[in-house]
Structure 1
Amino acid sequence: MMIYPRFSWIGINAALLVLIPSLVIAQVPDEIAIRRLLTEQTKAWNQHDAQAWVRDFSQDVDFVNIIGMYFDGQDATKSRHATLFSGIFKNTHLDVKIWKVRLLGSEAAIVETVQTLRGYDALPPGIQPTEPGVLRTRMKYVLQKQSGRWKIISAQNTAIHPLP
């Protein structure tokens, strides 16, 4: 009978740090920076500040909202969100859970989130609450490092429909 050593996550992480320090050193700060970027974006939403919400979008960002509307560039995305923040989403509170950060080398990343919105006055045409008073969406971001900073170059938001 073979006996295998038991590893704790701490032990495994420590072993990985010894075995692949350059990979860990490169990825950890990038993931932290990306998570911080999304935290700041969430704060901007909750302050209903469209300028701050798009601050980390590239100038040429592609943005598709929950009803499939396409916005070409940071200015168009900011304008749409300014309208929402002064209209049906003026009293909203957003909670963002990061599902996955997938680094694609040192210059690109894909981030998947689940976003929970409460406090809306109405929802866009064709969108219904995921549950009473709550709209959940899946937002997928593509990020690229530009001049040493992470920028969102593409985003797609998809409503999570209520269960039948």
Structure 2
Amino acid sequence: MSGKLLSLLALPLAALISSAGADEGEIQRILEAKEAAWEAGDGEAWARDYQEDAGLVNLFGTRFGDRATNARRHTEVLQGPFAGSSLSMDVQDISMLGEDRAFAEAVLRVSDIASMPAGLPDRGDGVLYTRMSFLLERDDHHGWQIRFGHNTVVHP
């Protein structure tokens, strides 16, 4: 096979790899922006990157069916039992499921919790660990957005 033909075949693969890396970087940025929203106690900012009709299952198994409900509930939580707490998100994996879909997993650490809410594991140190999964979709109008999120408590 000639060098010229090999180069022509390699170009689409290189573009695909470059695009996937850019997509993963954008998804990483979206997820890490949750930390600043949490610190600000801003439920609207937390939900900003969810699609309008995105679903979310919280730590207690409650399902929220749209971005507005997600934002309201996060505002209540961030100004209530988790007021003054801090969030760190460690994105563990981002898997591209095609050109316009991705699945991401992250470990969340909520620290400085004054009093652990009932039903959540209390290790006595004011820290809560959860594992959160995200299904993301990209479209030409909005870019990458979260389609569905599911949060699960990590028990000690």
TM-score (norm 1): 0.83
In the aligned structure 2, how far is the partner of 1:115 from the partner of 1:83? Answer: 19
Residue 122 of structure 2 corresponds to which residue in structure 1? 129
1:156 and 2:150 correspond? yes
Is 2:58–2:152's contact at 8 Å kept on the other side of the alignment? yes
In the aligned structure 2, how far is the partner of 1:130 from the partner of 1:140? Answer: 23
Is 1:102–1:109's contact at 8 Å kept on the other side of the alignment? yes
SS in 1 for 2:15: helix
Residue 87 of structure 1 corresponds to which residue in structure 2? 80
Counterpart among 75, 82, 94 of residue 101 in structure 1: 94
Residue 28 of structure 1 corresponds to which residue in structure 2? 21
The offset of 1:122, in angstroms, is 2.9
The offset of 1:131, in angstroms, is 6.3
Q: Give the superposed CA RMSD.
A: 1.8
Alignment gaps of 5+ in structure 2: 1-9
Q: Deviations over 1:58-107 (max 9, x none)?
A: 01011000111111100111111111111111111000000000011110
Equivalenced residue count is: 146
Question: Within 5 A, what are the aligned runs for 1:18-97?
Answer: 20-97=13-90
Counterpart among 106, 110, 113 of residue 103 in structure 2: 110
SS in 2 for 1:89: coil
In the aligned structure 1, how far is the partner of 2:129 from the partner of 2:138? Answer: 28
The offset of 1:38, in angstroms, is 1.1
Task: Identify the range of structure 1 (134-143 vs 40-49) with the bigger mean alpha-carbon deviation.
Answer: 40-49
Residue 4 of structure 2 corresponds to which residue in structure 1? none
Change (3 A) 1:51 1:22: same
Amino acid at match of 2:47: V
Alignment gaps of 5+ in structure 1: 1-16
SS in 2 for 1:20: helix
In the aligned structure 2, how far is the partner of 1:153 from the partner of 1:105? Answer: 15
